[in-house]
């Protein structure tokens, strides 16, 4: 039998609760179904970013070739790189061939 989810006086109190509570104690996840939220839009935050003139010019050139706004292309590039970095951080690192060559060359 699942525990009853308490009533919360504020969103902050609810966040505090779920930060430490195990949701499996409060609901049967085996009965869960995927939710479709077609109207959901991601939260966006405006930032100020200083780029070298040449880098910005090159970004605008690439965006123009693809017929997209340069800021949209920058978001795509950032998202791809962040994903790549996160996935590579999860893989065990192996020494590169050049590092092996330097090491084996030093032993000679």
> Could you report the per-residue pLDDT of 33-52, keeping only the tens digit for each?
888 888 888 888 999 999 99
pLDDT value at residue 108: 44
Distance CA 65, CA 67 (A): 6
Q: Which long-range contacts (CB under 8 A, 24 or more apart) does 41-48 make?
A: none
pTM attached to this predicted model: 0.48
Distance CA 81, CA 78 (A): 5
DSSP secondary structure letter of residue 93:
P
């Amino acid at each position: 039998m699942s525990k009853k989810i308490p009533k919360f006086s504020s969103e902050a109190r609810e966040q505090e609760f779920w930060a430490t509570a195990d949701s499996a104690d409060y609901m049967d996840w085996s009965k869960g179904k995927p939710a479709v939220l077609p109207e959901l839009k991601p939260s966006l935050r405006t930032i100020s970013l200083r780029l070298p003139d040449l880098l910005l010019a090159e970004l605008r050139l690439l965006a123009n070739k693809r017929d997209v706004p340069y800021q949209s292309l920058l978001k795509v590039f950032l998202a791809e790189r962040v994903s790549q970095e996160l996935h590579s951080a999860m893989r065990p690192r192996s020494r590169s061939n050049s590092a092996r060559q330097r090491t084996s060359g030093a032993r000679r």
